[in-house]
Structure 1
Amino acid sequence: MATPKLRFKEFDGYLEKNNLINLTLWASGGTPSKKNKDYWMGDIPLISGASMHTRKICESEFNITDLGLKKGSKLAPKNSILILVRGSMLFKKIPMGMALKDVAFNQDVKSIITKEDLNEYYFFQWLLSQENIIQNKVTSTGIGAGKLDTSELQNLEIYYPAKEEQTKIATFLSAVDTKIDELTQKHELLTEYKKGMMQQLFSQKLRFKADDGSDFEDWEESLIGNVFTNKSESFNPKVENNLPCIELEHLSQGTGTILGTTDSKNQKSTKNVFERSNVLYGKLRPYLNKFAQPDFKGVCSTEIWVLTGIEISNNYLYQYIQSEGFSELTSIQSGSKMPRADWKTVASAVMSYPCCEEQTKIANFLTAIDQKIDNVAEQIDHAKTWKKGLLQQMFV
């Protein structure tokens, strides 16, 4: 019989083995008719794939009434496990979570309630540990969506210890989850704090003082095209030396993180050259908010602006392009299927900017917040990696 690699020292012995169908109760959901207004705008969250973006499920964009529940849906009691069994996102991940309160769920979701032999939180953590196995069971519906066969899931084998050991494992992993939640909340608060400080600083509602305590001079005002430029050298990968190449997919959304690079020698199309500390901004689908400030020389897609400060430093520019004001300018787009930010629109807008010394203070202040945000993000990644390792070792 199998035993886990990692186990609390007060427990020993073999684990029981059984199929899920013998240890759990499964239910299918539904969606009440949208034609009947009496079924909607109630107090019961209707969980769908779109609602399952978190492991703790308690709310949805759509709520139904008691009548709507009775006529077309199903109730998952508090502490039920919900798992998506149909939807395009199944090809990337398996959305599943635990209901923090009674919720309804639609036809793309299954609810699972544990029987007496299984602690519900222990079972949920076990289910998370099996995500790769479940992922391999996803098949195509033929219309672009993925699906999971309920009978295959119910036939999964689970090894489980006595209830007392299950409870201890569940309590321990719950504490790990709480730590991750706390770090995530801290990350969100820091991100919101930075947004608020940017609004105050770029609107001049909050001003720094000079080192001697005096006020800085009034901000200058000019067309953006005179303050910074998007001009860069063209690069032909067929004849130039190899350089790191950044494509749009290498820029994360809203964080400034460079996710990777490729070699320019493997590219066929013309690229833009960027120097160390230039600011990159993705002009294609600007609402994705992709930007970065590389610490190396390289080339990038022509769908990325290479921005260089003229009257402002690149460090200040990097912070400015994250502001609401710049986002509003880039939202004035050309094209419908492939919307792009329009440089002529941006360049012809007027912006205010401070003197060099105040630029430095603003950039350094916001960069310090960025560093705190990055540190917390790194802690979250480490905690999640540690948790993943625990799941692999504590479950068979």
Structure 2
Amino acid sequence: MSKVLLGDVAIEHKETCKGDKDGYPIIGLEHLIPGEITLTTWNEGSENTFTKMFRKGNVLFGRRRAYLKKAAVAPFDGICSGDITVIEAKPDRILPELLPFIIQNDALFDFAIGKSAGSLSPRVKWEHLKNYEFDLPDMDKQRELATLLWSMDDTKKSYQKLISATDELVKSKFTALRCSTLNMEGISRRKSAAFWH
């Protein structure tokens, strides 16, 4: 285990889309969900002024309002907002599959908040972010960690889907029960009205 700086193991990916943007998914800050390491939403074919390119496997870090804790790994090539810093692993120094977990953690976000500038909409620059220091194990241990962390993330997502499905089931059962109760009340009122007439 050795101490490294983020800038020792990763670079800011700087690439601009100079041609046609059609067919590229578009990522804005609104698509980065706080605390989520994977992208689940994006725009396609929408009109925008974004020109910053990212590549599959890059980490998209929301540099504006870092306290919102927005960072996710890109599952495809695309175009993103200028308020997103695109971070690319140096594969000879860090396992690319581990980098998203280094970025998406409270210690790095706390560091980023401390280095942010601006009052209304504070932003952190890569020049500061690259000085974040952390412990990094050797490659074999990195592989173990990455496998474990992605497995935990998969388990978390499975639980989230299960909770969502359970929630929908409870809602539908409640709606059905409510409709049934209202129908019974209506029948009871009609019977009562018929009795008194």
Q: TM-score range by the shorter chain?
A: 0.7 to 0.9
Q: Shift in Å at residue 280 of structure 1?
A: 1.3
1:334 aligns with 2:114: no
CA distance in 2 between counterparts of 1:345 and 1:369 reads 30
Are the counterparts in 2 of residues 224 and 351 from structure 1 also a CA contact under 8 Å? yes
Q: Shift in Å at residue 364 of structure 1?
A: 0.9
Aligned residue pairs total: 176
CA distance in 2 between counterparts of 1:287 and 1:393 reads 42
Structure with greater contact order relative to length (CA < 8 Å, sep ≥ 6) = 2
Task: Give me the identity figure in percent.
Answer: 25
Are the counterparts in 2 of residues 282 and 289 from structure 1 also a CA contact under 8 Å? yes
Q: Which residue of the partner structure matches residue 293 of structure 1?
A: 73
2:97 counterpart SS class: helix
1:307 counterpart SS class: strand
Q: 1:253 to 1:350 in 2, by over 3 A?
A: closer
1:395 counterpart SS class: helix
CA distance in 2 between counterparts of 1:366 and 1:259 reads 18
Are the counterparts in 1 of residues 24 and 44 from structure 2 also a CA contact under 8 Å? yes
Equivalence map 1:11-26=2 (5 Å): none
1:378 aligns with 2:158: no
* Greater strand fraction, Structure 1 or Structure 2: 1
Q: Which residue of the partner structure matches residue 363 of structure 1?
A: 146
Q: Which residue of the partner structure matches residue 16 of structure 2?
A: 234
Kindly provide the amino acid, as one letter, of the partner of residue 280 in structure 1: L
Are the counterparts in 1 of residues 72 and 104 from structure 2 also a CA contact under 8 Å? no
Q: 1:367 to 1:259 in 2, by over 3 A?
A: closer
Q: Shift in Å at residue 265 of structure 1?
A: 5.1
1:388 aligns with 2:171: yes
Q: Shift in Å at residue 368 of structure 1?
A: 1.2
Deviations 1:173-201 (A, max 9, x none): xxxxxxxxxxxxxxxxxxxxxxxxxxxxx
Q: Which residue of the partner structure matches residue 314 of structure 1?
A: 96
RMSD: 1.9
Q: Which residue of the partner structure matches residue 24 of structure 2?
A: 243
Deviations 1:205-254 (A, max 9, x none): xxxxxxxxxxxxxx233332121112231124x73443011111112111
Equivalent of 1:323 in 85, 94, 105: 105
Which has more radius of gyration?
A: 1
Q: 1:223 to 1:259 in 2, by over 3 A?
A: closer
Deviations 1:127-149 (A, max 9, x none): xxxxxxxxxxxxxxxxxxxxxxx
Q: Shift in Å at residue 325 of structure 1?
A: 2.3
Structure 2: segments with no counterpart, 5+ residues? 180-197
CA distance in 1 between counterparts of 2:13 and 2:46 reads 23
Equivalent of 2:82 in 276, 286, 302: 302
Structure 1: segments with no counterpart, 5+ residues? 1-218
CA distance in 2 between counterparts of 1:292 and 1:348 reads 20
TM-score by length of 2: 0.81
Q: Shift in Å at residue 312 of structure 1?
A: 0.9
Deviations 1:310-363 (A, max 9, x none): 121221111111223212211121111001123222213433322221111111
* Greater helix fraction, Structure 1 or Structure 2: 2
1:341 counterpart SS class: coil
TM-score by length of 1: 0.42
